[in-house]
Structure 1
């Protein structure tokens, strides 16, 4: 009987739910990065515990021996085959214990003398103890022999049913809410006004950690501050910081100008002045720039480098002589920009997601040995999530997460087409070994939002989800990309199948080589062409000749005339909008 018990095997599916909520509740890119790392780390701890079962194995995601010790970009869900139904409960306890331990270390090191306050302690325990208990879901069921497709289908159905029975932990949160998540009560202590407490805490923690006016709950405070604790705990290289949106926007410009003595001189002058007034003014940059920590990109904009902004950020008051000194620095910055060109104020947030991946994981498209198929599929997904990170070595993009078939990243506007194409090709290359009954392979879709560096980050994070899910997937039928451009109050959104992307890249090159922007404006003016489909290509070629100098057209004729291929995939209005997007992206090149 004992021997029979020992031979039993179980499929175990674990999920740490709602990562998007944690990541999207952000005012700084550091919050987004912190939320991503936190979910990856805790899921990885759960996977490690499951792997301690000598008879068990992680089925999804597939990890090499080398990567079993690394947690960055681990997806928030895993599937394992285990030998005991007790293991899932142990995994849950390990994840919760690790979360509470991290939070405790943050409290001890960052809150100092306030850590033992009874009011703060009560809020802290309530919020920390309940947060992940509401988000952990798992299902475990016995299987006979090797893992089969039906086993995976059943456990997926059970998990979906389990998630419908939400983990509701009743907590009462007071009226004054966290300025980051807007849901939980702010941390406070007895005997002090909330504003007084946060002002005092901000001063003790130093510049750059808590902004003026910010008041956080326990969960958001840990998300903001835990990276330093984790880095010390793991004794390994882990970036505590993430490039600011402004630094990502200006990164191609900084990369181009960084070796010029005049650039280094004006950078040093700005930095010295700001630091002298107590302003936190540095940021790390995307690794492709090769400069590490530098002056935050926002301070390279003359209209940002104002006395009012310095006084607000440094919580100080500038004297008359200091204002004159700043005016002189701004004039020098403007003179440099006149010769060097204007740094871009826009950047992009891009999200990629595999299409109908649940069906591929469950093997609905295949009729081969499921265990072998799942291993190949898992390896393909793992290789994609590892290789896609190479984009940081070839562009100024910076990845927030790349777990499984999901990728979220920031990049300069000029790199949007290049990054979209690169990620898609990386996905397709790794999925070539996965074939369905129609000889098809998994596909991926992309949503991108191009926005001003001062536009609210939490809003961009919500919008990119909508662009991906509603436009690229639902409206365009998946295997597609969609872009939204936000300029002022104007929001423009359009997209198409991936075949159009190559045409738009060529259009961007053509605008750089002399094609006049007026062609786009004339296309919008000729609304009647929308109803004359057979004449659209001919009219477009006429406009090309009209809006390009003869010599330029002669040199680039084949490429320019190739732009007419856009009408294979788009009508007149859609083509005009997509070409206007290519023009916008080209204008941001530095």
Structure 2
């Protein structure tokens, strides 16, 4: 097999321009003959899949912020301005209507030479500042991988041909509906086949999208049962990943998260993995409804400033301390509540209200350890920051804001 490879770093600027123009090859890439075929080969227009980059999905909360009235199919004015800057520099870019243009870190993919990169960074930051001073898009997005529970047993329990046909119809109806649900939440459905789903979504919508898919699947499947009288449910893994992390790595993390969810007792579970670039990935898992309710509640409290941003890290320290002691469970809960009850403000400290305290006491009493709760708070803050950037209205909750 003949391989045609380019090491772009060894070429001069003019050669780099030609390589990009002819082969869409970026600086630092190695392209084999198969790679070139996949990149340059074209299907018929009506068959060509159109996927936005992970960078674009990560940038969506920011794009919603700066263009709140944007409609699907329209150009984003901010991306048009940035593209114009690139065109003035005689560079042609592949992602003409993609949020990848908003990230400084991707400039080197299209432009070589320190001076040219410096100029473009300056121009890019000037455009961004004109829209929202000092606000920059988050580099994180979510990958969702879901699969039906108890499907094999459910299929085996259908004894008649018409029962199998009805089950097949219901699965097809669900699969057909999935892309539209994902699109409604500004995501991209990579595939939806029966009870299998793979999609990537922005952080401010992924939880709601997952919840709607889970509810829709249960609704479609509730008429079918196994011999143990169990109806099919949906379990999923969600990975919060950096937009530049190789997609193969993110997909592997999503598979592990989905596997953890499907190993949860009774299933119908959700596992969420937070993979910070340069950090260790951590996963939280629970029944779908329980984890969804807890994380969305914690996200709201974080956005309202109802609990201190540093509380999660104090709880992590507390968990490490507890690991070296034999303090009774109730003593651990009391100490965790003492930390949670404080609400730091610029002018001092203020206690949280009774309703919030009761929520935390319930979670801790039900077996959520301080360390586990701390990590759920950190993940919830990540979702909350995206919701704030996208200017998602806060739910009306008078008690939390008192």
Q: Give the TM bin, normalised by the shorter chain.
A: 0.7 to 0.9
Q: CA deviation at 1:207?
A: 6.3
Rg (Cα) greater in structure: 1
Aligned residue number for residue 298 of structure 1: 100
Pick aligned residue for 1:468 from 232, 235, 258: 258
Pick aligned residue for 2:43 from 212, 229, 247: 229
Structure 1 residues 396-475: aligned runs within 5 Å? 396-469=186-259, 471-474=260-263
Aligned residue number for residue 341 of structure 2: 545
TM-score by length of 2: 0.77
Q: CA deviation at 1:399?
A: 0.8
For the pair 1:519 / 2:335, whether they are aligned, the reply is no
Aligned residue number for residue 31 of structure 2: 215
Aligned residue number for residue 393 of structure 2: none
Specify whether residues 420 and 542 from structure 1 end up closer, same or farther in structure 2 by C-alpha distance, changes over 3 A only. Answer: farther
Number of equivalent positions = 367
Aligned residue number for residue 369 of structure 2: 571
Aligned residue number for residue 358 of structure 2: 561
Aligned residue number for residue 75 of structure 1: none
Q: Distance in 2 between matches of 1:443 and 1:260?
A: 37
Contact 2:128/2:136 (<8 A) preserved: no
For the pair 1:270 / 2:82, whether they are aligned, the reply is yes
Aligned-CA RMSD value:
3.6
Q: Distance in 1 between matches of 2:110 and 2:374?
A: 42
- Post-superposition CA distance 1:545-575 (Å, at most 9, x none): 3127799945xx5466334443325333222
Aligned residue number for residue 328 of structure 2: 532
TM-score by length of 1: 0.55
Q: Distance in 2 between matches of 1:402 and 1:447?
A: 15
Q: Distance in 2 between matches of 1:504 and 1:465?
A: 21
Aligned residue number for residue 293 of structure 2: 502
- Post-superposition CA distance 1:155-192 (Å, at most 9, x none): xxxxxxxxxxxxxxxxxxxxxxxxxxxxxx63x5xxxx
Specify whether residues 248 and 254 from structure 1 end up closer, same or farther in structure 2 by C-alpha distance, changes over 3 A only. Answer: same
Contact 2:104/2:121 (<8 A) preserved: no
Q: Distance in 2 between matches of 1:201 and 1:330?
A: 22
Contact 1:510/1:560 (<8 A) preserved: no
Aligned residue number for residue 147 of structure 2: 353
Specify whether residues 205 and 326 from structure 1 end up closer, same or farther in structure 2 by C-alpha distance, changes over 3 A only. Answer: closer
Q: Distance in 1 between matches of 2:304 and 2:363?
A: 19
Q: Distance in 2 between matches of 1:379 and 1:247?
A: 35
Aligned residue number for residue 244 of structure 1: 53
Specify whether residues 328 and 340 from structure 1 end up closer, same or farther in structure 2 by C-alpha distance, changes over 3 A only. Answer: closer
Which secondary structure does the structure 1 equivalent of 2:197 belong to? strand
Specify whether residues 264 and 351 from structure 1 end up closer, same or farther in structure 2 by C-alpha distance, changes over 3 A only. Answer: closer
Q: List alignment gaps of at least 5 residues for structure 2.
A: 390-402
Q: Distance in 1 between matches of 2:132 and 2:19?
A: 41
